[in-house]
Structure 1
Amino acid sequence: MRLILQLVVVAAVALAGSAAVTAADWNVPLTLGLGAATAVLLLLLAYAWIVRRTEHRPVDELSLRAAGPRLAQGFVIGAGLFAAVIVNIAFLDGYTVAGRGSVSGAVALFGFALAACVTEELLFRGIIFRIVEDRAGTWVALVLSSLLFGLSHIANPHATVWSALAVAVEAGAMLGAAYAATRTLWVPIGLHIGWNFAEGGIFGTDVSGTGGPDGLLRSTMSGPAALTGGGFGPEGSLYALAAGLLTAAVFLWLAHRRGRITPRRSRRPAGSEAGATLTR
């Protein structure tokens, strides 16, 4: 029941925020402001409120004590990973810089990324992964939340069964593993924002099949879909799949080393280790 209640509350707030951000139609101050308001003032507060009401505990996975460093840490990892993907694609002439883009477009894309990434992390890692893990263990939670995350992208423009599976494996597994290793949502939130912003806001490629204004760079992509991801964008490429799998493996190794892989229903309160650091 708590899973359903939490999903309903967060999803309802997310839908309202998404409608507002979409209505802004890439107006820079409106998209940035509404994106930030949706992410910070609405979604995070709604998540914290419903978790307290249904679980009667502090929301340690969103502890403000380490929010800044953890967000920055995740952002750097996510942006760096996507940059590595693009460099590899460009090495085989799949990605070409066509010229300078737009700073205002990059700012608008950042606002959009804030709302979208916080929404997805709260739903798929904060609610689904965390609650399923508490009942069925880390591996079941990782597989289920990853598959649902990939499935949620199947209706995107240019999406295919392959692209949905790629998102499930490269992003769903990586972000779930990041939460398992750190027990804070700030790291996967930052990682997700960094990846998406680098994808659209810096390198000017489509994000999960969706376009938008030019980022800091204007680009063209050409070549086989296995290299470039086709119309879905680089997230459908084998390079993105490899980067996500490698990062997921590192986070899972860290989770195992720290004793945070739960084989069965946890006997301790959910999220009790949420404030732990990545360097513990």
Structure 2
Amino acid sequence: MRLVWQLLAVAAVGMIGGQVAMGLEGNWLATLVVGLLAAALTLLVYWGVVRLTERRPVTEVVGKGSVSGLLIGLVAGIALFAMVIVNIYFLGHYQINGLGTVVGAIGLIGFMAAAAVTEEVLFRGVLFRVIEGWAGTWITLVLTSVLFGLMHLPNAGATAVGIGAAVIAGAMFAAAYAATRNLWLPIGLHFGWNYAASAIFSTEVSGAGTPTGLLDTTITGPAMLTGGSFGPEASPYSIVFCFLTALVFLWLAHRRGRLVPLRKGAKRVESGTTLPQ
């Protein structure tokens, strides 16, 4: 039942915050403020419901490493997406026409923060963490990554390649959580990736109808290289970079002894007493 209560609580807050932020599109200041408040409230609700249902210190969202984890994830996420764009640019399919909207890029901070926090808390904080105690790291990584990919199925321009790319991205975020055993790195990584795609390079984010960001850009060329209407996330460069990054995080998790075997280690992961934090 704890899984149900945690999912319901976080999903309710995230959905309400997301809907409000979407309704404020065009008002950059309100979007910024509401989005950041929704992200903070989601984390607070997660901390509260986990404390209530599991009666343990919620080490994955408190304690040392929060600022450094967010910053490292942010830089890594922006850098990864920048490498995707650089490859598409040198093929001649990405063109910068001029400046877009600075205030729009600022407003997207709130919108993308709310989205990144909600999705990471739901998929990594609740689903991955709880299921891992039953099924182990590898099965859980595959299962939750597939669910994360399928969540993008209703988005415009969704194709088999796009959904597959979202699955790989979900595996990267899950691996980041497994390597650190906290949510700060995957939240920063998720936010940095989405913010770079939307607010910096002004590209489509998973076919979600993303507004223009800092740059006024045009992407042309075959969908098999650019990702088409789903966005560069569905490009082969995105898939390769996310896959390689996931492997690095999984290697770190293995080296740190943080991979949980099947039907073993549930208490160790949740109590934080055996696995290093």
Q: TM-score, normalised by structure 2?
A: 0.96
Q: What's the counterpart of residue 47 of structure 2?
A: 48
Distance in 2, Cα, partners of 1:117 & 1:91: 29
Q: Which residue of 2 aligns with 1:90?
A: 89
What SS is found at the alignment partner of 1:21?
Answer: helix
Amino acid aligned to 1:205: T
- What is the match of residue 72 of structure 1? 71
Match of 1:187 in 2: 185
Whole-Å separation in 2 of the counterparts to 1:274 and 1:188: 22
Deviation at 1:162, TM superposition (A): 2.3
Query: Structure 2 CA distance, aligned partners of 1:64 and 1:250?
Result: 24
8 Å CA contact retained: 1:26, 1:213: no
CA deviations 1:74-103 (Å, max 9, x no partner) are 000000000011001111112111111111
Matches within 5 A, 1:127-146: 127-146=126-145
Alignment of 1:262-273 (within 5 A): 262-264=260-262, 265-266=264-265, 267-270=267-270, 272=272
1:153-183: CA deviations, max 9, x gaps? 10111112321121111x1010000000011
Whichever residue aligns with residue 101 of structure 1, its letter is G
Residue segments in structure 1 that go unaligned for 5+ positions in a row: none
* Structure 2 CA distance for partners of 1:2 and 1:60, relative to 1, 3 Å: same
Equivalent position to 1:225, from 205, 220, 223: 223
Measure, in 1, the Cα distance between the counterparts of 2:273 and 2:248.
Answer: 19
Q: RMSD of the TM alignment (CA)?
A: 1.5
Does residue 31 of structure 1 match 2:47? Answer: no
Task: Confirm or deny: 8 A CA contact 2:268 2:274 kept in the other structure.
Answer: no
Match runs of 1:116-131 below 5 Å: 116-131=115-130
Closer/same/farther in 2, CA of residues 205 and 274 from structure 1, 3 Å limit: farther
Aligned pair count reads 275
Change (3 A) 1:216 1:52: same
Structure 2 letter corresponding to 1:217: L
The one-letter code matched in structure 2 to 1:45 is L
Query: For the residues of structure 2 that align with 1:273 and 1:220, how far apart are their CA atoms?
Result: 51
CA contact (8 A) 2:59 2:182 kept: yes
Q: How far, CA to CA, are the matches of 1:190 and 1:108 in structure 2?
A: 17
